[in-house]
């Protein structure tokens, strides 16, 4: 395949000269040749939006940095999916749509240079996040009229229509490979694969600093057949999130994220290590996560949804994982609070059973095995189903959790209808059906190792339950039926 160096088209790697036209010319050369490689040599290449083509490799040589501009007009509006809803938005900084055979590789860096985006977002949020406050937002609101007004807002500024772009987005692409580079400092999500099929993400480092708003690492959104391996995540939000559209629009599209393997990855900091939802209207299924390390994140494995979001999370396996200083290793939450409005709050937070409809979420067939979680853990886990649709068929096998107290009380699930103070809590659940815990160990500070409410079909086998407070009850059950506790041990922790 023919190689096209951007410097042959006038690019200068001084970090100041704008190279947008040079990138475009090199990519046009690949397109005319029927395929090829765009080479980015060592240097800092300052540019506006880059739009890829089919049958191309973007090769970043060692010492190469693509530094994107902070000028909003460099990112003309495109139609894509933004935070789970199909909308017009600012062009992603590095973008491809409806492509085949696309590779981004090499030992260089892709940098979003996002400060101007973040500064404007701060002004949007200070305004109340209820209507556009700038010309770009007003133009997008006009283009998107009727598409977003009834959608949960979340924290991204949807109602103000200042739709910050992800740093990298590939939309409806097939045969995708991301390999070897660093991608950092994104205006919004770092790297977003949406509607992609047969994608490999290998040896990529995803970085966003403290304070980066909505700074997810990698978002797999309505994708099928994705392999993620040997990656490092150091982000300010979810490290790796699996999504499939928001509310009614996601249900309309109806594409799940499925058939995904995640292995040999390290997750640092962030709101969650591996997260599913909250925009999961198309469902997430057939996912394995194995041989990973989570350090210092707020949550480890997190599934989140609520009434109205349609999500079905099913057939998920998490194995051979080490967590250190993760505040809550396991969260499965169908009472998620974020995005609730005056219109929806009463429905989302209702503790009573409601009629099951298409948009009632579900979590089922979840397996955790060979997992160790130690360090500054506020709660072992939160399993919170709905009274009309409990979380079903969950297994913990050879799972070791050592809960240590935090300095402050902490509510790890961002959920309605849970205790506000879960400091040093064990495994806490409500509306869970068919829960099995075997060959495991849970050590807590001054609370019950396992506390369950309004649940059914609970089996504890060959599990050690330790409390640092000898007066604490190891297992606390409230309105729980069909319980089998066999060959378990309770003793004070040393």
Q: What is the DSSP string of 48-79?
A: S-EE--SSEEEEE-TTEEEEE---GGGS-EEE
Q: Per-residue pLDDT averaged across 363-369, rounded?
A: 99
> Burial letters for 25-54: b for 16+ Cβ neighbours within 10 Å, e otherwise?
bbbebbeeeeebbbbbbebbbbbbbbbbbb
- Paired strand residues for 478: 453
Q: Around 246, how many Cα atoms within 13 Å sit in the side-chain half-sphere?
A: 19
**Higher pLDDT, residue 9 or 491:** 9
What gap in Å lies between CA 292 and CA 421, rounded to an integer? 29
In this structure, are residues 271 and 246 in contact, taking their beta carbons and an 8 Å threshold?
A: no
Q: Which range among 45-49, 285-289, 408-412 shows the weakest confidence by mean pLDDT?
A: 408-412
Task: State the pTM of this model.
Answer: 0.97
Predicted pLDDT at 153 = 65
- Percent residues over pLDDT 70 in the chain: 97
Q: Supply the DSSP string of 305-327, one letter for each residue.
A: --TTS--EEEEEEEEEEEEES-S
Q: Would you state the pLDDT for residue 129? A: 64
314: region left, alpha or beta (phi > 0 left; psi from -120 to 50 alpha):
beta
**pLDDT tens sequence across 33-86:** 999 999 999 999 999 999 999 999 999 999 999 999 999 999 999 999 999 999
- 299 bridge partner residues: 272, 328
**Is residue 130's pLDDT more than 90?**
no
The pLDDT assigned to 405 comes to 66
- Provide the 8-state DSSP code for 73: G
pLDDT category of residue 8 using cuts at 50, 70 and 90: very high
Helices (H), 4-114: 20-33
Q: Which residues lie below 8 Å from residue 96, measured CB to CB, with a gap of 6+?
A: 51, 52, 53, 102, 169, 170, 171, 173
CB 168 within 8 A of CB 94: yes
Helix (H, G, I), strand (E, B) or coil at 179: strand
Give the distance from CA 14 to its chain's centroid.
35
pLDDT at 191 over 70: yes
Instruction: Kindly calculate the radius of gyration of the chain based on its CA atoms and give it in whole angstroms.
Output: 23
Determine the Cα angle at 427 with ends 425 and 433, to 5°: 145
Q: Distances from the Cα of 466 to the Cαs of 88, 250, 374, 444, in angstroms?
A: 54, 44, 14, 6
Helix or strand (DSSP H, E) at 445: none
Confidence of residue 484 (pLDDT cuts 50, 70, 90): very high
Confidence of residue 407 (pLDDT cuts 50, 70, 90): very low
Span 242-266, average pLDDT: 98
Backbone angles phi, psi at 327, to 5 degrees: -65, -40
Query: What DSSP designation does 167 have?
Result: S
CA distance 171 to 194: 5
pLDDT band at 468 (very low <50, low <70, confident <90, very high): confident
- What percentage of residues in the chain have a pLDDT greater than 90? 83
Calpha distance 11→60 (Å, rounded):
14
pLDDT, average across residues 463-490: 91
Evaluate if residue 409 carries a pLDDT over 60: no
Please state, as a whole number, how many other Cβ atoms lie within 10 Å of the Cβ of residue 203: 15
Q: Is the pLDDT score of 152 beyond 90?
A: no
């Amino acid at each position: 395949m023919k190689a096209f160096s951007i410097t042959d088209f006038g690019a200068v790697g001084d970090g100041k000269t704008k190279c947008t036209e040079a990138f475009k010319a090199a990519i046009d050369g690949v397109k005319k040749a029927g395929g090829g490689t765009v080479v980015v040599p060592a240097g800092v290449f300052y540019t506006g939006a880059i739009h890829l083509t089919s049958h191309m490799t973007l090769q970043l040589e060692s010492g190469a940095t693509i530094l994107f501009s902070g000028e909003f007009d460099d990112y003309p509006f495109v139609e894509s999916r933004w935070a789970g809803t199909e909308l017009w938005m600012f062009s992603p900084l590095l973008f491809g749509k409806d492509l085949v055979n696309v590779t981004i590789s090499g030992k260089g860096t892709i940098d979003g240079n996002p400060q101007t985006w973040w500064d404007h977002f701060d002004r949007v949020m200070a305004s109340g996040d209820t209507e556009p406050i700038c010309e770009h937002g007003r133009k997008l609101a006009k283009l998107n009229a009727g598409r977003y007004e009834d959608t949960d807002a979340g924290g991204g500024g949807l109602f103000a229509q200042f739709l910050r772009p992800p740093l990298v987005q590939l939309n409806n692409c097939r045969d995708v490979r991301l390999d070897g580079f660093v991608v950092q400092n994104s205006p919004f999500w770092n790297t977003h694969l949406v509607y992609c099929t047969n994608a490999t993400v290998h040896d990529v480092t995803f970085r966003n600093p403290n304070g980066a708003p909505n700074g997810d690492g990698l978002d797999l959104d309505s994708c099928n057949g994705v392999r993620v391996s040997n990656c490092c995540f150091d982000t300010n939000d979810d490290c790796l999130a699996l999504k499939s559209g928001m509310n009614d629009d996601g249900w309309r599209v109806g594409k799940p994220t499925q058939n995904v393997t995640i292995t040999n990855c390290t997750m640092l900091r962030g709101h969650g290590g591996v997260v599913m939802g909250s925009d999961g209207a198309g469902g997430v299924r057939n996912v394995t996560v194995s041989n990973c390390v989570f350090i210092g994140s707020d949550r480890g494995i997190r599934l989140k949804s609520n009434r109205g979001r349609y999500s079905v999370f099913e057939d998920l396996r998490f194995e051979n994982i080490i967590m250190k200083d993760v505040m809550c290793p396991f969260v499965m939450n169908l009472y998620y609070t974020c995005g609730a409005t005056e219109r929806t709050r009463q429905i989302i937070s209702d503790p009573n059973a409601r009629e099951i409809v298409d948009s009632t979420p579900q979590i089922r067939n979840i397996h955790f095995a060979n997992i160790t979680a130690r360090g500054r853990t506020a709660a072992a886990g939160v399993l919170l189903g709905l009274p009309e649709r409990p979380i079903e068929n969950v297994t913990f096998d050879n799972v070791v959790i050592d809960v240590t107290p935090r300095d402050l009380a902490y509510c790890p699930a961002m959920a309605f209808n849970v205790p506000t103070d879960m400091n040093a809590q064990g495994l806490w659940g409500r509306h869970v059906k068919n829960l099995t815990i075997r060959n495991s160990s849970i050590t807590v500070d001054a609370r019950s190792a396992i506390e369950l409410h309004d649940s059914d079909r609970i089996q504890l086998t060959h599990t050690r339950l330790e409390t640092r407070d000898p007066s604490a009850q190891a297992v606390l059950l409230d309105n729980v039926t069909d319980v089998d506790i066999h060959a378990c041990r309770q003793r004070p922790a040393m």
